Amino acid sequence: MDESGFDNRVHRRHGWAPRGQKLFGERTGKREKRENLLAARQEGKMIAPMLVTGSVNAICFETWLSHWLMPQLKENSILVMDNAPIHRKSRIRELADQKGHIVKFLPKYSPDFNKIEHDFAALKKRREYLPEGTSLDQLIRDYCDDP
């Protein structure tokens, strides 16, 4: 399980231009509120996705964990997460113990060990090629429904 931020504006990184000419695209320098996706992975599928506008803090993460993720987990699941400051270890272990789950924290600076990171990367890549106006919510729904 983890969280990942998404910009509200999608910028394509590549495009077509006549041979020998550079391609320029407009892009505002203004930062907007980001949307953060909280999600987990179980049996090769992304589960319990929740979008949050703005920052994710410890209370938000723990609310998602107890109200969205825990009800979808199978009995005696192992919760694997990174060492982000919002993952208050004692509180998360307490929530997991109440439901019979085990919590394992990844070593520092090891996002490659967290399989949900691959889902986040795939979502961000897919988003670049969607028609303009497609919502992040719809992208996530479609991704979760893919076999």
pLDDT tens digits, residue range 50-91? 999 988 999 999 999 999 999 999 999 999 999 888 888 899
Q: Strand locations in the chain, DSSP E?
A: 2-6, 35-42, 45-53, 78-81, 102-105
**Model confidence band, residue 146 (pLDDT cutoffs 50, 70, 90):** confident
Domain of residue 62, CATH code = 3.30.420.10
Provide the domain limits for residue 83: 33-131
Residue 27 counted as domain residue: no
Q: What is the spatial distance between Cα 3 and Cα 36, in angstroms, rounded to a whole number?
A: 6
**Average model confidence (pLDDT) for the chain?**
88
- φ, ψ for residue 53, nearest 5 deg: -85, 125
Whether this model's pTM surpasses 0.85? no
Residue 137 counted as domain residue: no
Residue 16 counted as domain residue: no
Do residues 73 and 42 touch, judged by C-beta distance below 8 A? yes
Domain count, the chain: 1
Q: What is the spatial distance between Cα 121 and Cα 104, in angstroms, rounded to a whole number?
A: 23
Looking at per-residue confidence, does 117 or 16 come out higher? Answer: 117
Residue 3 counted as domain residue: no
Residue 53 counted as domain residue: yes
Place of tokens 């320029």: 24
pLDDT value at position 59?
93
**Model confidence band, residue 131 (pLDDT cutoffs 50, 70, 90):** confident
